[in-house]
Amino acid sequence: SGGVLGIVGLGRIGRAVAQRARGFGMRIVYTQRTRAPRAVEEALGARYVRLDDLFVMSDVVSLHCPLTEETRHLVDERRLASMKVGSILLNTARGPCVD
């Protein structure tokens, strides 16, 4: 509780995860191709950030993106290395999103 949750893909499932994380007092940051409407951000207490910044600042990164050519190997060695020591990567997306 109290950490930072980074969500990659704030669609239906990403939003549901954000709602639950708020119950644990987590701060929510997210990224996706297009920024969510302000009303969604306000309802979730979520802040839009760049992908690389999300990996640096999050205690938990949760992937909820579709597998496309753009997201294939989205998480690579460089992004994993940028994460905080002891942080967690949850891949609920397709396997190949992580290289």
| pLDDT for position 67 | 83
pLDDT given for residue 98 in this prediction: 87
Sheet containing strand 60-63, edge to edge, reads 46-48, 27-31, 4-8, 60-63, 88-91
Q: What is the reported pLDDT for 18?
A: 97
pLDDT per residue as tens digits for the range 20-79: 999 999 999 999 999 999 999 999 999 999 999 999 999 999 999 888 888 788 889 999
Taking the whole predicted model, whether its pTM rises above 0.75 is answered as yes
